[in-house]
């Protein structure tokens, strides 16, 4: 019986290790996905920034064209001014030239503002491009690392599965069946060690009589509270 109890303990340990490995394995592709999301997010922001830059460039060019128009207009008007005889017309044209000069100044201000905006966006874009390329490189190396880790964990998992199979085979079939049953209904833990007369799974006390018998380690016991297999701590060291 001692031997069977030891097997149960080992089976429980192996199952916990397997659980951990499976969880690890499931979490690994998630890490890659997170990085991919980050790259996609940065790329989208970069593209939005590129669009803003393009719009600012277009606006800058528009105001440049306006200024050129204004200059041409003033030039033409000044030529016309020479041939005007009527004072009233002359004054009117002078005022128009003045107005156009004012528009030109305003348009120049706007053009300069957009030039500065283009400069700023350009700088910003360069930094973002650099960041993106860094994160991309990071993604590539992390992906490779995680992929090799996945292979390692898979190998470890299949080794552990084989070991588990061996333990399960050595266990009496009815005990194995019972183990699976308890495990299924007790949150994956079917075997609990008892220390200081307390079940480590449910943290309740084991009756003294049972505790005494448990310490002998020659009969199979169940926790009277959580109904898991129990074993005495000192016994686990002797496996």
Q: Which residues bind Zn ion (CB under 5 A)?
A: 199, 201-202, 223, 225-226
Shortest CB 231 distance to Zn ion, Å: 12
48: left (phi over 0), alpha (psi -120 to 50) or beta: alpha
Shortest CB 202 distance to Zn ion, Å: 3
Please, which residue, 193 or 201, has the CB nearer to Zn ion? 201
Q: Quick one: which of 179, 157, 173, 236 has its CA closest to 11?
A: 179
Please, which residue, 103 or 205, has the CB nearer to Zn ion? 205
191-195 and 229-232 strand pairing? parallel
Q: Where are the alpha helices (DSSP H) in 84-172?
A: 87-170
Q: List Cα–Cα distances, 178 to 115, 171, 221, in angstroms.
A: 78, 11, 12
Please, which residue, 21 or 201, has the CB nearer to Zn ion? 201
Shortest CB 182 distance to Zn ion, Å: 11
Please, which residue, 113 or 189, has the CB nearer to Zn ion? 189
Please, which residue, 16 or 98, has the CB nearer to Zn ion? 16
Render the burial of 190-218: b for 16+ CB within 10 Å, e for the rest.
bbbbbeebbbbbbeebbeeebbeebeebe
Shortest CB 10 distance to Zn ion, Å: 20
Shortest CB 181 distance to Zn ion, Å: 16
Shortest CB 144 distance to Zn ion, Å: 46
Q: Tokens for 60, please give them.
A: 């800058």
Please, which residue, 56 or 210, has the CB nearer to Zn ion? 210
| CA–CA dist 118, 107 (Å, integer) | 16
| CA–CA dist 210, 223 (Å, integer) | 9
**Element spanning 195, H or E:** strand 191-195
Shortest CB 227 distance to Zn ion, Å: 7
Which position has the token pair 């979490």?
Answer: 27
Q: Chain centroid to CA 214: how far?
A: 48
Please, which residue, 220 or 226, has the CB nearer to Zn ion? 226
């Amino acid at each position: 019986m001692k031997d069977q109890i030891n097997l149960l303990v080992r089976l429980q340990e192996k199952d916990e290790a397997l659980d951990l490995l499976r969880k690890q394995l499931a979490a690994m592709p998630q890490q890659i996905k997170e990085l991919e999301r980050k790259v996609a997010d940065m790329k989208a922001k970069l593209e939005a920034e590129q669009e803003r830059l393009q719009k600012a460039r277009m606006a800058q060019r528009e105001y440049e064209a306006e200024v050129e128009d204004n200059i041409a207009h003033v030039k033409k008007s000044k030529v016309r001014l020479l041939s005007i005889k009527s004072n009233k017309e002359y004054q009117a044209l002078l005022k128009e030239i003045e107005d156009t000069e004012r528009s030109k100044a305003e348009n120049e201000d706007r053009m300069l503002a957009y030039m500065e905006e283009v400069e700023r966006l350009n700088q910003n874009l360069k930094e973002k491009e650099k960041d993106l390329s860094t994160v991309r490189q990071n993604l590539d190396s992390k992906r490779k690392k995680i992929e090799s880790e996945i292979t390692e964990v898979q190998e470890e998992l299949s080794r552990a599965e084989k070991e588990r199979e061996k333990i399960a085979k050595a266990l009496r079939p009815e005990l194995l069946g019972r183990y699976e049953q308890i495990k299924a209904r007790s949150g994956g833990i079917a075997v609990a060690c008892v220390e200081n007369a307390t079940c480590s799974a449910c943290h309740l006390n084991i009756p003294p009589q049972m505790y005494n018998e448990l310490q002998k380690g020659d009969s199979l016991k169940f926790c009277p509270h959580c109904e898991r297999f129990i074993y005495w701590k000192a016994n686990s060291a002797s496996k």
